Structure 1
Amino acid sequence: MDFSSLKNTPPMYLYLVSIISFILANLVRDKSLAFYYFLLIIGLVFFVLGFMRRLKSK
């Protein structure tokens, strides 16, 4: 798999995806616990990617 489009994404978009996944995780918390944890992990990964990209750009 080629993740070149993810490498060129600005940090703000990665933070936005992170926030959206945290919101969705909060909405599905009572319905599906597995999907809740999956969305939390996805949100955390995108947040860390955005943070690392932000540090590299400075």
Structure 2
Amino acid sequence: MDFSSLKNTPPMYLYLVSIISFILANLIRDKSLGFYYFLLIIGLVFFVLGFMRRLKTK
């Protein structure tokens, strides 16, 4: 798999995806616990990716 588009993504977009996944996880929490944890992990991964990218650009 080629993640070159993810490598060139600005940190703000990674943070935005993270926030959206956290919001969706909060809305889904009562309906599907497995999907809730999946969205939390996705949000955390994108937040860390954005944070790491931000540290590299400074």
- TM-score, normalized by length of structure 2? 1.00
- Spell out structure 1 runs of 4+ moving beyond 3 A: none
The answer for the alignment partner of 2:47 in structure 1 is: 47
Separation (CA, whole Å) in 2 of partners of 1:44 and 1:10: 17
| TM-score of the superposed pair, with normalisation by structure 1 | 1.00
Q: What whole-Å deviation, never above 9, does each CA across 1:8-55 have from its counterpart, x for those lacking one?
A: 000000000000000000000000000000000000000000000000
| Alpha-carbon separation, structure 2, partners of 1:20 and 1:30 | 17
Shift of 1:57: 0.2
Q: CA RMSD in A?
A: 0.1
CA distance in 1, matches of 2:44, 2:13: 14
For 1:29 and 1:52, how far apart are their aligned partners in 2?
28
1-structure distance, mates of 2:34, 2:8: 31
